[in-house]
Amino acid sequence: MHRRDFLKSTVGLAAASALSRAAQAEEAFLPRPGTWRNYEIITRIKIADPKGKTQAWIPVPSVNEASWFKSESSRWATNARSATLKYDPKYGSGMVHAEWAEDEAAPLIDVISRISTQDRAVDFSKPSTPTPLSDGERQLYTAPTALIPTDGIVKQFSEQIVAGIAGDFEKARRIYDWVVENTSRNPETRGCGAGDVASMLETGNLEGKCADINTLYVGLARAAGLPTRDVYGLRVAPSRFGYKSLGVSSSSVTRAQHCRAEVYLSQFGWVPVDPADVRKVALEEPPGNLSLNDPKVIALRAALFGSWEGNWIAYNFGHDIVLSGSNGPALDFLMYPEAETAMERLDSLDPATFKYLIFAREVTA
């Protein structure tokens, strides 16, 4: 992001509440819970160039939240010597770990997962008494991770953004508005981005995709003391609200990874937020390069603080994931299939040479 643009958008912040009011009158994007949808996701891996010991780790849905998501079952078919379901001990992020014999010329695995999900929508006019977070959960979701420091420059920015604001709801909303106003989507970013929050703030380059923009939200909110988490997942169906950029157009979803975020507010529980999709709509919805004042963007911006559509599946909330059986480094997050041969780890952002394919379809329960 250029400094001049930053200046422009920051001056525009004063108009944020006016935009919110406009959005209320404009809403075309209205996720509402009530209809559960069931999906089947097939991840197919065929290691293109196996060398010696070959292993793969395939993420499977492992989020269970009674009000919006059930991870139901995962099964697999493979020529691997062994394949087992494993969970990282800190976040419970699930993955199938497959190991092939060293002489296996064509390592293959299909992992088939089923989930149920529905839209989410928080009614901020009706505070409630949700289950409070345990001390452990609060600590986990306010803690720093390898790429989300909560001190230094992240703390400095966070303090400035919420300066003078009392109340967790207001802080969470203010950070959301700041992220929407000051970031931009870069279609050239590989995968979903790296999510290196401190580097983004240090360089002033606040562009990227969901793993950058939503993780920036998570970092700034955690630094403000708000329990916040990334939710790593995959788009699996078109948006029924007519936003082409917020869904997929076919059953092939190999490159449809998308992470969302949640912030915990004591009167509402976990609240869905997705500033990255606001910027995606602004960039991609026809005719493209929409301003934040465009009615479509205004509607989305209002809706994506407090609701999201159930055309997406959640894998996990994890960070700094150690892959069982690997001597390689921990993953910053687990959203793509991972694999390594005796020579090296493969590039999970390059499904064509890796190789992997992901398909999704809606199914009856």
Partner 1 sequence: MKRIRRKVGSSISIILILLFHWTGTRANGLEAWSGDDISPFQLHDMTGSTIALSNYRGSPVVVHFFATWCRPCREEMDSLQRLVEMTGEGRLTVLAISVAEPAIRVRRFFDIRPINFPVVLDPDRAVARAWRVATLPTSYVLDGQLRPKFVVRGTLHWDDQSIAQTLRMIGTASQ
- The residues of the shown chain that bind partner 1, judged by CB under 8 A, are 3, 6-7, 10-11, 13-14, 146, 149, 152-153, 156-157, 160-161, 163-164, 186, 189-190, 193-194, 196, 198-199, 201-205, 207, 328-330, 332, 344-347, 349-350
Residue 202: CB minimum distance to partner 1, A: 4
Of 92 and 204, nearer to partner 1 (C-beta) is 204
Q: Least distance from C-beta 307 to partner 1, angstroms?
A: 27
| Closer residue to partner 1, CB minimum distance, 15 or 77 | 15
| Beta bridge pairs of residue 92 | none
Q: Which is nearer to partner 1, 127 or 167 (CB)?
A: 167
- Note the Cα 336 to chain centre separation in Å: 12
Rounded least distance, CB 287 to partner 1, Å: 26
C-beta of 27 vs 320, nearer to partner 1? 320
CA distance 187 to 208: 7
Q: Which is nearer to partner 1, 135 or 188 (CB)?
A: 188
User: Closest CB to partner 1 among 262 and 340?
Assistant: 340
Six token digits for residue 4: 């001049």
- Smallest gap from Cβ 268 to partner 1, in A, equals 25
Q: How far apart are CA 358 and CA 234, in angstroms?
A: 10
How many Cα neighbours within 13 Å face the side chain of 319? 21
CB of 196 to partner 1, least distance (A): 6
| Minimum distance from residue 347 beta carbon to partner 1 (Å) | 5
Of the pair 346, 360, the CB lying nearest partner 1 is at 346
Label the pairing between strands 269-273 and 94-100: unpaired
| CB 6, min distance to partner 1, A | 7
Q: Least distance in Å: CB of 306 to partner 1?
A: 23
275 is written with which tokens?
Answer: 């500033």
Nearer to partner 1, 114 or 280 (CB): 280
CB 344 → partner 1: shortest distance, Å? 5
Q: Which is nearer to partner 1, 240 or 345 (CB)?
A: 345
3-state secondary structure the chain: CCHHHHHHHHHHHHHHHHHHHHHHHHCCCCCCCCCCEEEEEEEEEECCCCCCCEEEEEEECCCCECCCEEEEEEEEEECCCEEEEEECCCCCCEEEEEEECCCCCCCEEEEEEEEEECCEECCCCCCCCCCCCCHHHHHHCCCCCCCCCCCHHHHHHHHHHCCCCCCHHHHHHHHHHHHHHHCEECCCCCCCCCCCHHHHHHHCCCEECHHHHHHHHHHHHHHCCCCEEEEEEEECCCCCCCCHHHCCCCCECCCCEEEEEEEEECCCEEEEECHHHHHHHHHHCCCCCCCCCCHHHHHHHHHCECEECCCEEEEECCCCECCCCCCCCCECCCCCCEEECCCCECCCCCHHHHCEEEEEEEECC
- Min CB(9)–partner 1 separation in Å: 10
Nearer to partner 1, 6 or 359 (CB): 6
Q: How far apart are CA 140 and CA 120, in angstroms?
A: 23
